[in-house]
């Protein structure tokens, strides 16, 4: 026999008329999508020089003008130097706003390379003559700025303003390396731009680090200790060759 709570209501029964009716269940609705898009200027941000053993890390922020299109914007690393230089001038001429900033070698060694990179990015955004409402940053780390920020993985190949920022940052840093090459030509900064190439490591072992080298980076620290080590040169033949050159250099210095 059905229980009293489950029995159907009888409209002819006055008691049933006063019984509270069960609420009908509403179908579960879908969540409303919330858009975080904001109106206003959008800046693209990218950096150059996180990986090298020497020199500052450079960041750029760019706000493009939709009415003045720039053709050929791509990830700066896949462009030829000639094409980068041409786009560098065009970006500076046509962008609504741009700023290039850096974090020094001393700041890299004090803060670490990640925090120094974010510092350079923040300086670039804060240096824009027009404040952006939204900032798109290449990579997966965001600087602390007074605007809505968003990471874009591979953004230098997807977002024109980030591509433009990558070009400004790289060309600026490459030109710094060319200038510094004149001060310390034996390191070869004009060729490797401070990256950890075999020629750069050999120069480090021969001459030791200069003021432009990042002493917080392991290859620089190892080179400061003297002859080539297994960590610096894993291949025995390469290590022996460089060690021989280092000993010759040391012998000449002591003569």
pLDDT for position 218: 87
Residue 232: pLDDT over 60: no
Q: Are 53 and 148 contained in the same domain?
A: yes
Given a contact cutoff of 8 angstroms between Cβ atoms, the answer to whether 58 and 49 are in contact is: yes
Asked whether residue 17 is domain-assigned, the answer is no
Q: Tokens for 140, please give them.
A: 């997966």
Q: Which of 148, 181, 214 is the last residue of a domain?
A: 181
Q: Are 72 and 127 contained in the same domain?
A: yes
Q: Are 68 and 127 contained in the same domain?
A: yes
The pLDDT tens digits of the residues spanning 132-166 come to: 999 999 999 999 999 999 999 999 999 999 999 99
**Collapsed DSSP state (helix, strand, coil) of residue 35:** coil
Residue 68 or residue 30, greater confidence: 68
Asked whether residue 27 is domain-assigned, the answer is no
Residue 102 or residue 35, greater confidence: 102
Asked whether residue 4 is domain-assigned, the answer is no
Q: Are 197 and 175 contained in the same domain?
A: no
Q: Which residue has the tokens 């480090």?
A: 204
Q: Work out the pLDDT band at 23, boundaries 50, 70, 90.
A: low
Per DSSP bridges, beta strands 57-63 and 134-138 are: unpaired
Looking at every residue in the chain, the average pLDDT score rounds to 83
Q: Are 210 and 176 contained in the same domain?
A: no
Task: State the number of CA atoms in the 13 A half-sphere of 100 facing the CB.
Answer: 19
d(CA 81, CA 107): 28
The pLDDT tens digits of the residues spanning 110-119 come to: 999 999 999 9
Q: Which of 154, 181, 208 is the last residue of a domain?
A: 181
pLDDT for position 59: 98
Q: For residue 171, what is the domain's CATH number?
A: 3.30.420.10
* Alpha helix segments (H runs only) across the chain: 14-18, 81-94, 105-111, 113-126, 160-183, 189-192, 198-207, 218-224, 236-254
Asked whether residue 254 is domain-assigned, the answer is no
Given a contact cutoff of 8 angstroms between Cβ atoms, the answer to whether 7 and 22 are in contact is: no
Q: Tokens for 78, please give them.
A: 């896949």
Q: Are 76 and 132 contained in the same domain?
A: yes
For residue 202, which of 164, 181, 232, 175 has the smallest C-alpha distance? Answer: 232
User: What is the residue range of 117's domain?
Assistant: 42-181
Q: Are 224 and 112 contained in the same domain?
A: no
d(CA 23, CA 158): 52
Residue 65 or residue 205, greater confidence: 65
Asked whether residue 109 is domain-assigned, the answer is yes
Q: Work out the pLDDT band at 32, boundaries 50, 70, 90.
A: very low
Residue 33: pLDDT over 90: no
The pLDDT tens digits of the residues spanning 56-100 come to: 999 999 999 999 999 999 889 899 999 999 999 999 999 999 999
H or E element that contains 36: none
Q: Which of 157, 181, 205 is the last residue of a domain?
A: 181
Q: Are 159 and 220 contained in the same domain?
A: no
């Amino acid at each position: 026999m059905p229980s009293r709570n489950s029995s159907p209501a009888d409209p002819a029964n006055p008691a049933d008329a006063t019984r509270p009716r069960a609420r009908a269940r509403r179908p579960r609705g879908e969540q409303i999508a919330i858009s975080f898009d904001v109106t206003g200027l959008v800046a693209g941000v990218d950096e150059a020089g996180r990986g090298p053993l020497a020199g500052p890390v450079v960041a750029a922020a760019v706000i493009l003008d939709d009415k003045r299109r720039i053709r050929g914007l791509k990830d700066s690393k896949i462009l030829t130097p000639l094409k980068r230089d041409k786009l560098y001038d065009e970006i500076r001429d046509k962008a609504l706003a741009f700023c290039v900033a850096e974090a020094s070698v001393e700041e890299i060694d004090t803060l670490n390379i990640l925090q120094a990179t974010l510092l350079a990015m923040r300086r670039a955004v804060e240096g824009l003559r027009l404040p952006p409402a939204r900032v798109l940053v290449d990579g997966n780390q965001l600087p602390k700025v007074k605007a809505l920020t968003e990471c874009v993985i591979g953004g230098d190949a997807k977002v024109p303003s980030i591509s433009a920022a990558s070009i400004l940052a790289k060309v600026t840093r490459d030109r710094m390396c060319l200038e510094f090459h004149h001060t310390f030509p034996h390191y070869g900064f004009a060729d490797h731009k401070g990256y950890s190439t075999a020629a750069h490591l050999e120069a480090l072992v021969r001459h030791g680090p200069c003021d432009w080298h990042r002493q917080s980076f392991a290859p620089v620290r190892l080179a400061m200790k003297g002859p080539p080590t297994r960590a610096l040169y894993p291949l025995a033949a390469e290590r022996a060759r460089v060690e021989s050159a280092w000993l010759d250099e040391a012998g000449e210095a002591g003569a």
